[in-house]
Amino acid sequence: MPRSRTVLIAFLVVTAANLLANALGGDLVFRLTKPLLMPLLAAYLWRASAERAARPDRLLLAGLAFATGGDIALMIDGTGWFLAGMACFLGTHLCYLAAFTRHGAATALRRAPLVAVPLGYAVLTVAALTWMWAGLTDVGLAAPVAGYALALAAMASTATTQGWRVGLGAALFLGSDLLIAAGVAGVAQPPGAPVLVMATYAAGQALIVLGRAGTPTGALVTPAAAPAVP
């Protein structure tokens, strides 16, 4: 069995343990497993690239490093730690945005049918912020969340040019963050929201890494390469 597959299985096992602990209230297991998720994905990306005799995408690795910092910060209570976590994840989105743009996203988004994707994400972002604005204002997070949402929407838009796995992964990542923001704003808290947040986040990040792991770092992806539209 390739080492990359072994690492991927480890990621799946740790993710399952994290979700189960989240659902059952196992705080210790949750706190031990959450910081391991993104490093395991980074290890998978490194090994999968090595097995293809290729260099891993350094921007993607940097994004996963920022996400690890964000995961740790969000485990600590307090507005300051929430903002620190948001700043780390902003770094993740900017790294991904740069990686996807470097691989032809800007050109692809100017062509049909992908030209409609940024508009769709813009409408979704404005609608979500309008819905949550009063609640976010009450907790003093309206402006930071709005700036973060713009970067997230830009990342998700460019991700749709990178194949269906990356596009779907970015959409799940966006959905996870939307659930977090809705809870912070106090406008919605669906049953099992913490588990759903982690499940969509882990699945989204995994799909982004799996989608990019099979693409050479110098390759450009065009609309003909089976893009995913949210």
Report pLDDT for 189.
Answer: 83
pLDDT for position 215: 66
Residues of the chain with pLDDT under 50: 218-230
Residue 227 confidence (pLDDT)? 41
**Residue 191: its pLDDT value, please?**
85
Would you state the pLDDT for residue 112? 84
Separation CA 81–CA 142 (nearest Å): 16
- pTM listed for this prediction: 0.90
CA–CA separation, 196 and 192 (whole Å):
6
